[in-house]
Structure 1
Amino acid sequence: MGSETMARPVADDTAATATLAGQRFRVRDHYEVGREKVREFARAVQNQHGAHHHEADARKLGYQGIVAPPTFVSTIGLTITHALLDTVLTEYDLSQMLQTDQIFEIYRPLVAGDRLTSDIAIESIRQYGDNDFITVKFALTNQHGEVAQVGTTTIVARRGAVVDPNLTEAVENIMMHVPKIASASVADSEALIELGSDVPPIVGERTAVPVNTTPDFDELVTGQQLAPGSARVTRGDLANYAGVSGDANPIHFSDEAAQLAGLPGVVGHGMLTMGLAAEYLTSWIGDPTAIEKFSVRFSGFVPVAPAAASRIEFTGKIKSLDPQRRTATVLLGGTAEGRKLFGRAIAEVRFA
């Protein structure tokens, strides 16, 4: 996700596709949050808070297992997107899509050992010229029946695009090979259970779980600037993130594939930059579980040279404060080589 388009042109079956808006599904299999997976993801997005790595630090925040980073849910969302493309949105291909927006609503953090059920809704499919803008919402419910997190993703897919014939061959020779794994039964072979369009959406309920934030809320003021921050990204970081997240689009590691897709060279994953922005925010508030909502509209990319690190510069400003809930809305900015990465990046944070 967060990648440029690249592969075969999609089928022009717009009428059938439009009727899918409003349909809801459930992923047949559950997702179990693994401790080592959490640690791997935290390293991949450079999220350094101890609660992502050590149980002792997580217990200080009130959790018995290590806590997943704020954007960890993107790995589950990518799996859900694959399931939709394999069984419902079959006229599209993941490698042809560009992610434009991502919203995470965090009602309770994901903790190692959580067993999650995923529900999906195709919120809308809007057609502009040869592009389809598809908005998908997914809700993750844990083993206690609590809605943990809700994600909303908007992607754009081109219809009827003319693709360089060299691109298909390049993709086939560069892409990671994913073997087909036989299912245990015919029923298990279907990744999604269709729920129809009459099923009410799952709504999360926010509880006042204590947080351990560093800034004193009573000393914050609207318009206050956060101290600037930065992150370094190398080709090795991109390869690591691709493996951990499952986003193996070759524009993130192959100059040839990136140039065929119209890019100057290899670029970073959009969701990687969002994860790095989450670390910037966490380093200020001191508690990653205090982030209640995080949304980004992607507008640029991070070019990453073969043998030189790229630097991303982050900024932040308090947009508004809610004294009753002790929450702050924070505007985030990110640039690389003077290029603006986010058209909009907003986080809602709760303070002690």
Structure 2
Amino acid sequence: MSTPDTTTPDINTLEKGQEIGSREVRLSRADLLRYAAASGDHNPIHWNERFAREVGLDGVIAHGMLTMGLAVDLVTDWVGDPGRVVDYQARFTKPVPVPDAEAGPPDTPTATLLISGKVGAVDVEAATARVDLTVSLEGAKVLAKSQVSVRL
């Protein structure tokens, strides 16, 4: 006999508007380099200040997929299993600048994402819920319509 998974939210007790949590995620230039190495996305806008400015940016920016990945971690922690995510969509509304640290090592954080989530919809019959994420930097949303569907 298997033991029930106590980390997975109970679909029968979820309500629209219910908060699932929030967190701050701090980013450094070193984080961007590590992500580039892991993802294979070596676009210089994510690590070279001069190049980023030459193409019209204010400086180096975080990878969009890194931002999305950091945001969905809130949901996967909440449901207890990343395999429960059945759909994830978001629109990029603003870049996430990650300035070079004025002092200290390259892994000194210089940007902080604020991530929070609320239940946006519940379908008890299908055993699914939609979580609406808010992802912002310095008060400005960097992702819009960030919605994650999970099977519970």
Q: TM-score, normalized by length of structure 2?
A: 0.87
Residue equivalent to 2:67: 273
Q: Secondary structure at the match of 2:69?
A: helix
> How many residue pairs align between the two structures?
142
Instruction: Name the CA distance, whole Å, in 2 between partners of 1:249 and 1:337.
Output: 25
Residue equivalent to 2:139: 338
Residue equivalent to 2:29: 235
- CA shift at 1:272, angstroms? 0.3
Choose 311-320 or 224-233, whichever is displaced more: 224-233
Counterpart pick for 2:55 among 248, 261, 264? 261
The aligned amino acid for 2:98 is: V
Instruction: Name the CA distance, whole Å, in 2 between partners of 1:300 and 1:281.
Output: 22
Choose 212-221 or 281-290, whichever is displaced more: 212-221
Counterpart pick for 2:116 among 312, 315, 328? 315
- CA shift at 1:345, angstroms? 0.7
Choose 211-220 or 300-309, whichever is displaced more: 211-220
The 5-angstrom pairing of residues 1-352 of structure 1 reads 213-307=7-101, 308-309=108-109, 310-351=111-152
- CA shift at 1:216, angstroms? 1.9
Instruction: Name the CA distance, whole Å, in 2 between partners of 1:212 and 1:297.
Output: 33
Higher strand share: 2
Q: Secondary structure at the match of 1:345?
A: strand
Q: RMSD across aligned C-alpha pairs, in angstroms?
A: 1.7
The answer as to whether partners of 1:212 and 1:287 remain within 8 angstroms in 2 is no
- CA shift at 1:212, angstroms? 7.4
The aligned amino acid for 1:321 is: V
The answer as to whether partners of 1:293 and 1:347 remain within 8 angstroms in 2 is yes
5+ unaligned residues in a row in structure 1: which ranges? 1-210
Instruction: Name the CA distance, whole Å, in 2 between partners of 1:219 and 1:276.
Output: 27
The answer as to whether partners of 2:27 and 2:112 remain within 8 angstroms in 1 is yes
Over 4 Å off, 4+ runs: none
5+ unaligned residues in a row in structure 2: which ranges? 102-107
Residue equivalent to 1:10: none
Instruction: Name the CA distance, whole Å, in 2 between partners of 1:212 and 1:239.
Output: 37
Larger radius of gyration: 1
- CA shift at 1:323, angstroms? 0.8
